[in-house]
Amino acid sequence: MTVKIRFFARFRELFGADIMTDVVTGTMFTSLITTIAKKNPEGYAAIFDEKGAFREFVILMKNGKRIDIADAAKTPVADGDEIAVFPPVAGG
């Protein structure tokens, strides 16, 4: 299975814009992001806290729908999914 991971804003600077990756059936959202994030220690620290949990401000989306951080560990990814990871959004 292949999924696309898109990072935005500061996370894009750390990981690049789009990452296509192969995953095995049954891979969960958190596991996928953890695997990708561990390739860049600074990026990992930006997304995850010292206990390995998503930082509370990280915004996660799967196919255009927001995924609650609390549900990410039990949300499977499927072939063709587009995953988006955003830092905090501010504006005015």
Return the CATH number at 14. 3.10.20.30
- Is 91 part of a structural domain of the chain? no
Our count of domains for the chain comes to 1
Q: Residue 88: its pLDDT value, please?
A: 80
- Is 52 part of a structural domain of the chain? yes
- Is 13 part of a structural domain of the chain? yes
* Per-residue pLDDT tens digits of the chain, which is 92 residues long: 999 999 999 999 999 989 999 999 999 999 999 999 999 999 999 999 999 999 999 999 999 999 999 999 999 999 999 999 999 876 55
Q: Residue 77: its pLDDT value, please?
A: 96
Residues making up the chain, counted from first to last: 92
Specify whether the CB–CB gap between 22 and 46 falls below 8 A: no
Q: Residue 17: its pLDDT value, please?
A: 83
Beta pairing class for 65-67 and 18-22:
unpaired
Specify whether the CB–CB gap between 6 and 17 falls below 8 A: yes
- Which domain range does residue 27 map to? 2-86
Q: Residue 92: its pLDDT value, please?
A: 52
- Is 92 part of a structural domain of the chain? no
